[in-house]
Amino acid sequence: MAVDGQVAFADGASAASGIPQVARQFQHIELDWGSDLRVDPLTPQLAVVGAHWHEVQINAAGKRAEESGYFSGVAELRDGRWQFRDAHWSEAAPPPVFR
């Protein structure tokens, strides 16, 4: 999994052990997917997924933050279940300033 161009979890095992640690930093997380959700099949076992998202976070200190962006990933049918093989979250950023 990558977030804003940086690898957050290199594989499923590191995600499984790291996500609970991240979750302890928050009291509440609310994730809403945009109405533009796309699932484009590539093969019977692979599909590309993409959608805008909006997230509300309340951290352990009770402070609120909101973020929006775009998610894309490759989903794989493995052992009878769809799982993300690759995933990338990007937060919307202002356009670059040229000087």
> How many domains does the chain fold into?
1
Give the global pTM: 0.73
CATH code of 21's domain: 3.10.450.50
Residue 12 placed within a domain:
yes
Could you tell me the residue range of the domain that residue 33 belongs to? 2-91
For residue range 13-39, list pLDDT tens digits in order. Answer: 888 888 888 888 889 999 999 999 999
Only one residue has tokens 């979890």, namely 9
pLDDT at 59: 93
Residue predicted with more confidence, 4 or 24: 24
Query: Is the confidence at residue 4, as pLDDT, over 80?
Result: no
For residue range 46-58, list pLDDT tens digits in order. Answer: 999 999 999 999 9
Over the range 28-59, which residues count as b (16 or more CB within 10 Å of their CB) and which as e? eeeeeeeeeeeeeeeeeeebebeeebeeebee
